[in-house]
Chains A and B, each alone.
Chain A
Amino acid sequence: MSDALIMALPTITGRSLRLSLRSPDALLTALLLPVMLMVVFVYLFGGAVAIGTSYVEYVVPGVLLLCAITGASTTAVTVCQDMTGGIIDRFRSLDVPGTVLLAGHVTASLLRNLVSTVLVAAVAVGIGFRPHSDPARLAAATGVLLLFVAAVSWLAAAFGLAVSAPEAANGAMFFLMFLSYASSAFVPVRTMPWWLRGFARHQPATPVTETLRGLLLGQPAGGQVVAALAWSGGILAASVLLSMVLFRRRTA
């Protein structure tokens, strides 16, 4: 398993990246959707949101999170396409382990997200976002974000294994995007109706956003860091296990 993994992973990852580059509509969606959403939030809704500080500053970490979610959730579609096409038989008869195939998709997703995050961050700076941070904290923020992307990508991969058509796999994105709307990503939790606050505070998107906010704006992030890492790590571990089970069931 381990030497097969080392042998096959770069090849499989290279393939996944090539496939992402050659699906221009999906790539454009992944790159432009977060930028457009940021523009929408800052310029259309921003004027109506009074939270005491500049809304650009408040919303950029949330948009980075949304960007991570939309980018990572496309993994569900690519995994599902692989499972429903003829190529899976080729990989199986070449003895490519299921984990390697999925890890290739997740690695490609991480690289795609790195690009889209840089793009969103650049646009953010262009419209007035000024981080109060230092290189160490920026690196920490990137690490937190990437761990979250890895977790969501594996979760999406498991979703892609569980559904039978790529169209259905697309649904993963909308479900996961809802997590970012019902969190502190775009508006403070205290402005939500009381029955939503409990959920909003105790779901992964909120601590991850708050951690990013803390690290980028030079505010103390405190206990949110631990919660963010625990959520991401937990989702990652559970999704890897779940997808291994699903892959085995799918190809038995």
Chain B
Amino acid sequence: MGAVSSSDLRVLRGSVFALLGPNGAGKTTTVRILATLSRADAGQARVAGFDVDRDRRQVRRHISLTGQFAALDAAQTGEENLRMIGRLAGLPRAAARRRAAELLEQFDLAPAAGRRVGTYSGGMRRRLDLAASLTGRPAVIFLDEPTTGLDPQSRLTTWRAITGLAADGVTVFLTTQYLDEADRLADQIAVLNGGLLVAAGTAAELKRRVAPQRLDLTCPTPTAFDQVRSRLTHRVVHLDTAARTVGVATDGSAAQVRALLDQADPSRDLVASFAVRGATLDDVFFTLTAPAAAPAAAPAQEAAHV
């Protein structure tokens, strides 16, 4: 596809994985490749143990995808949609009917079962879409921005549904632009920006890497800037070449700030001034996905295991 250049990801069975990134980061592309709807022009990915390129059919048998646009017929009722999908997933007629009723109940849609989907609210539609994705009892479910555009109440209901899925042993791979969503739902988070994987880990690890404070070191010359940057390497979360500022994560304690200054500038002539700033969760996200951020992980080999 060219949009996502290299992402080395591995997702554990039965866990929730969040691919976090701004618009245009390549999240949807990644999900479509993993769900066999698009082909990658290089690299490989395995889903539920099957190669997404060579074993498309096997992969499709084990997954389901819920995209940003509800994959439902507006002119059919909620119940008809689910029954149809059950039949297409290979369930016999009676089983498809039972499964539809079960899912409508599970997603609080039973009272609206006989209404056409066209009359549903955005949140109801999203929940029905989720229910539809679960019809064939997939091992892995992909959710592309499951709560984008939802009101806070529907967002909470959707979150509850997703947590419920993972509790049932389904592996959930979701994409989101919201840090709080990833924080709340995901066991593992990967941050994607401009098609590059810029960070990966648990929510706690990511926060530790960049939060709670940022120490900005401003250098007198471009040479000093390069030296400081190379000395601090993996701690760097912010780079501003024009201002010759290197930002590193810190807890803000005097001891750590002193240690960082020593590490960055042992000869005491590379740093002209410094500042400590408080970082919010959104800063973390912004820092990781800002165009200036250096890729923290850009493995040469592309591989994804879900």
Contact = CB atoms under 8 A, between A and B. Distances in A.
B73 A93 contact: no
A86 B70 CA distance: 6
Interface stretch (A11-19, A105-113, A126-134, A194-202): A11-19
B69 A90 contact: no
B80 A94 contact: no
Interface in B241-271: none
Interface of A is mostly: helix
Given A87-B72, A252-B39, 11 more contacts: A7-B88, A8-B87, A15-B76, A19-B73, A86-B69, A89-B65, A89-B71, A90-B85, A92-B37, A94-B88, A96-B88
Interface string B126-151: 00000010001000000000000000
Nearest to B71: A90
B75 interface: yes
A93 B84 contact: no
Contacts of A12: 88
Contacts of B73: 15, 19, 87
A7 B90 contact: yes
Contacts of B37: 89, 92-93, 251
B57 A95 contact: yes
Interface string B30-60: 0000011101000000000000000001001
Contact of B80 (A18, A85, A87): A18
Interface in B51-109: 57, 60-61, 63-65, 67, 69-73, 75-76, 80, 84-85, 87-90
B67 A94 contact: no
Interface string A151-164: 00000000000000
Contacts of A89: 37, 65, 67, 71
A23 interface: yes
A90 B132 contact: yes
Interface of A: 7-8, 11-12, 14-15, 18-19, 22-23, 85-96, 251-252
A95 B58 CA distance: 10
Contact of B87 (A11, A22, A88): A11
A252 B37 CA distance: 8
A86 B80 CA distance: 17
A176 B98 CA distance: 45
A217 to B, nearest CB: 41
Contacts, number: 62
A102 to B, nearest CB: 15
Nearest to B39: A252
Contacts of B116: 22
Nearest to B86: A11
Nearest 8 Cβ contacts at the A-B interface: A90-B71, A86-B69, A86-B71, A22-B75, A11-B87, A94-B88, A95-B60, A89-B71
A94 B61 CA distance: 7
Nearest to A92: B37
8 contacts: A11-B84, A11-B87, A86-B72, A93-B37, A93-B64, A93-B65, A94-B89, A251-B37
A106 B80 CA distance: 21
B248 to A, nearest CB: 43
A7 B93 CA distance: 11
Given A15-B84, A18-B80, A87-B71, A93 B57 contact: no
Contacts of A23: 75
A112 to B, nearest CB: 15
B296 to A, nearest CB: 32
Interface in B161-192: none
Contacts of A94: 60, 85, 88-89, 136
B27 to A, nearest CB: 16
Contacts of B76: 15, 18-19, 22
A110 B98 CA distance: 32
Nearest to B135: A94
A98 B65 CA distance: 18
A12 B57 CA distance: 19
Contacts of B36: 93
Interface string B213-242: 000000000000000000000000000000
